[in-house]
Amino acid sequence: MEIRTETPQATDFVRPAPAEQPWERPDPEWYKDAVFYEVLVRAFYDPDNTGSGTLKGLEEKLDYLQWLGVDCLWLPPFYDSPLRDGGYDIRDFRKVLPEFGTVEDFISLVDSAHKRGIRIITDFPINHTSDSHHWFQQSRMDPGGPYGDYYVWSDDPTKYDEARIIFIDTEESNWS
């Protein structure tokens, strides 16, 4: 085995991308042999020393992830959130949490990953929102209005006795 003594260069991590991208040949079972890599954006790479990783930081490390043999990145929620439920309490599905970057940064990450033959899957929990989401606020103000049926409201405190109340300081009930 040869021992390398020089510092690795960025080009040492580059594998040629396949001539045909994986998503260009539909294969419903592609995931069975794929190497998945879950990326917590906040903890992955902080390129600006701000205390939090960013989408741009993740994009900077794509060559390394490709070299590792990663076929698909799995990103837990990175959307705008008050972060009271680990980012799963989304305030706006159309925005990125500012400390992680912008929508444009996400688009750039996806484009760069695709050029390397890497897929991206995002955790997109649309079955619930933050209590600060516009839909929730509108539903709470007017349960009979256009957003009223987006959430289930009940005045019966015993109806969901066993359910964990997540935002006890805001609402003494549960919604979904």
Q: Selecting from 3.30.750.90, 3.40.50.300, 1.10.10.60, 3.30.70.2190, what CATH number does the domain 30-122 have?
A: 3.30.750.90
What is the reported pLDDT for 162?
75
| pLDDT digits 0-9 by tens, 20-42 | 666 666 788 999 999 999 999 99
pLDDT digits (tens, 9 = 90+) for 117-164: 999 999 998 888 898 999 999 998 998 999 988 888 877 767 767 777
Residues 6+ apart with CB under 8 A from 133: 90, 91, 92
Higher pLDDT, 13 or 35: 35
What fold is seen in the domain 131-176? Oligo-1,6-glucosidase; domain 2 (3.90.400)
Which residue spans of the chain are classified as CATH 3.30.750.90? 30-122
